[in-house]
Amino acid sequence: MHIAILKQDVEMVNELLKRGADVINARATGSCFVHFPVQNNNPCEYQLSFAACIGNKEVVTTLIEHNAPLEAQDSLGNTVLHVLVLQPEKKQAYDMYDLITSLVAEKQQQFVENIVNNDGYTPLKLAAAEGDFEMFNNLVQKQKKIYWTMGTICYCIYDLTNIDTWGDQTSVLDIITTSRNSEVRKLVDSKPVKELLHQKWNLFGHKYFLIWMFSYILYVIIVTVSSLYRPLKLIPADQSDNLTIKTQKTFTESYQTSEDYLRLVGELICVIGALVILLSEIPYLYKIGPKNYLGNTSIGGPFPLLLVCYSLLIAVAVILRVLGDSGEAVPLSLALVIGWCNTIYFARGFKMLGQFSIMIQKIIFGDFMQWCSLVFICITGFTSAFYVMFQTLDLKKYPYFKDFAMTMYTTVELMMGLIDLPIPYDTPTPSTIYIGYVLYMIFVYLLLLNLLIAMMDDTYWRIAYEREELWKVQIAATILLLERRLPSFLKVRSGVPGRSLGFDNDKWYIG
């Protein structure tokens, strides 16, 4: 039967059906059919799926008339409708999809269109995951209903099943906001998705986002004030090293006065906030996976990871405070830097600032990280060379090169143009040092720094055309994040229930 379908021999297909050919359970799983080129390397195991890929309408009609199952799923869980979504020849796929759905009852059509494959995708979700804008739009248009007409004007409503996140963990909105495929992001401007996001943002997203933003800023201010007034005491003169004059108080000494207890309130807010952040981010990390968690710009790029680091640093600071260790200043200062830098995340709520935050993320975690890897190799090499050159000299006259660590710090300062070559010019210095310095400045200061500028300029203009699209996806991701983290009594479903429109009671629609 598969060979007859492949040859588009309608007479042979009819003859085989007359002789009792099985069109319900028969499958082809050999490499000839599983990797047949017309279906983009997706298996067409069942006869109906294979015939749909070939594009012979007469054969498809005949098979359906002989009860070929539309709901049959291959080894990947794909039905005939899934397979059509994956077809490279879109015009043929559209026509075949329309033909197949027109040959069955509406109830059966809705049932088949809601079957999920092994990845949890219905045909509509699969079109979204593939970034196939044309197929996605075609399927959405098939599901729309005309609510009223007036002359040549009509008002259409769209079914939100599989699109909205309500009760669906793999909705189209989830696919758009978690995918790294640039073609998938374009779906944010498709007809029902755009209206749905606009309604969600106006209904609750904008309000709760502002509350979240101001709450976080207030929290960071409390953390900052509590850190600035952390408990310190003077070191006795006979124990001082003439550099450090204060040290950390012991835990008992830290909480004695009324001012200490006022600071304690701020510190408790700091710790509770860090704990809430950590407990909210870990399940999110588990759900989307480390790869998406760390690298997805729409979800937040580096900001979720920064929040986790911030929470862990606060935990370390608390432990050191209890132990009375003076090293508390290190994790606390790093936590403050991260806490304030994370406020850039909230720039996404504003169109102008949000697009520039995308630029910053792309440049820092794209060009800058690659450039730093190259510069680290060069600096290590030149640091070793400078250290070897100065080893035989009187290092008291060359304090900037007294050891390897200090030499590396000096080379970094030279690269940034912060200092000149730090040697006493009234003392004879070997010419090899000047030669090494000139080579270093040409290669690292002139060449690599200008390379970084060129890379950032290229990234800026490359991202400029898609930054608004990326910003819209970030807004969508923020809406979904707020929607899922809101208490159930604050959640409001978007759209209009079908029963109020005279359609299906269990569906919701949007105009």
Q: Is 505's pLDDT higher than 80?
A: no
Nearest-10 crossing angle of helices 206-228, 467-485: 80
In a domain, 510, yes or no: no
| Last residue of one domain, picked from the residues 87, 111, 135 | 111
**Residue 258 confidence (pLDDT):** 85
Res. 293 pLDDT band, cuts 50 70 90: low
**E strands of 180-307, at which residues?**
232-234, 246-248
In percent, how much of the chain has pLDDT > 70?
Answer: 93
- pLDDT one-digit tens code per residue, 212-232: 999 999 999 999 999 998 888
> Taking all residues of the chain, what is their mean pLDDT, rounded to a whole number?
83
* C-alpha span between 467 and 418 (Å, rounded): 34
State which residues form the domain around 438.
360-490
Q: According to the model, what pLDDT value does residue 40 have?
A: 46
Q: Measured between alpha carbons, how far is residue 210 from residues 273, 478, 482 in Å?
A: 18, 12, 11
pLDDT of 211 above 80: yes
Residues 6+ away with beta carbon under 8 Å from 375:
415, 444, 448
**Helix H or strand E segment including 186:** none
Whether residues 308 and 223 fall in one domain: yes
For the chain, the first-to-last Cα distance in angstroms comes to 46
Distance of alpha carbon 439 from alpha carbon 460, whole angstroms: 30
424: pLDDT confidence band, cut at 50, 70 and 90?
confident
> Average pLDDT, stretch 242-259?
79
- Same-domain check for residues 321 and 405: no
**CB contact at 8 A, 179 and 185:** yes
> Per-residue pLDDT averaged across 275-290, rounded?
77
Number of domains the chain contains = 3
Choice between 415 and 40, residue whose per-residue pLDDT is larger: 415
What six digits make up the tokens of 110?
A: 């809705």
Q: Give the residue among 192, 182, 206, 204 at the shortest CA–CA distance from 161.
A: 192
| pLDDT at residue 38 tops 60 | no
Choosing from 111, 131, 166, the residue where a domain stops is 111
* Local structure of 158: helix, strand or coil: strand
Predicted confidence (pLDDT) at residue 362 exceeds the cutoff of 80? no
Can you tell me the mean pLDDT for 258-265? 88
DSSP letter at 46?
A: B
Which region among 230-234, 290-294, 306-310, 324-328 has the lowest average model confidence (pLDDT)?
290-294
**If you average pLDDT over each of 1-15, 242-256, 374-388, 497-511, which comes out highest?**
374-388
Q: Residues 5, 73: one domain? A: yes
Based on the domain organization, do 329 and 377 belong to the same domain? no
Of 111, 140, 166, which one is at a domain's C-terminal end?
111
In a domain, 64, yes or no: yes
- The pLDDT tens digits for 157-184 are 888 888 888 888 888 888 888 887 888 8
Per-residue model confidence (pLDDT) at position 333: 92
Taking 70 as the threshold, does the pLDDT of residue 61 lie above it? yes
Between 77 and 237, name the one with better pLDDT. Answer: 77
296 and 365 co-located in one domain = no
Sheet holding 496-497, edge to edge: 145-150, 153-159, 508-510, 496-497
Please indicate, yes or no, if residue 1 is contained in any of the structural domains.
Answer: yes
Is residue 418 located within the same domain as residue 338?
A: no
- Name the nearest CA neighbour of 348 among 492, 209, 194, 140: 209
> Predicted confidence band at 286 (pLDDT cuts at 50, 70, 90)?
confident
pLDDT tops 70 at residue 257:
yes
Half-sphere exposure in the Cβ direction for 192 (13 Å, CA) = 30
Q: Is 101 a domain residue?
A: yes
Rounded CA-CA distance 148/440 in Å is: 74
Give residue 273's pLDDT.
Answer: 92
Q: Is residue 153 pLDDT above 80, yes or no? A: no
So what's the pLDDT on residue 287? 67
209 & 325 share domain: yes
Give the DSSP H/E element, type plus range, for residue 30: none
324 and 401 in a single domain? The answer is no
- Residue-level pLDDT at 316: 93
- Whether residue 446 is contained in a domain is answered as yes
Q: Are residues 74 and 49 in the same domain?
A: yes
Domain CATH number, residue 2: 1.25.40.20
Tell me if 155 is assigned to some domain. no
In a domain, 279, yes or no: yes
Do residue 442 and residue 375 come from a single domain? yes
Question: Is 147 among the domain residues?
Answer: no
Lowest mean pLDDT among 326-340, 391-405, 416-430, 459-473: 459-473
Q: What local confidence, expressed as pLDDT, does residue 282 receive?
A: 77
Does residue 37 carry a pLDDT above 50? no
Same domain, 327 and 372: no
pLDDT of residue 469: 82
238 in the same domain as 348: yes
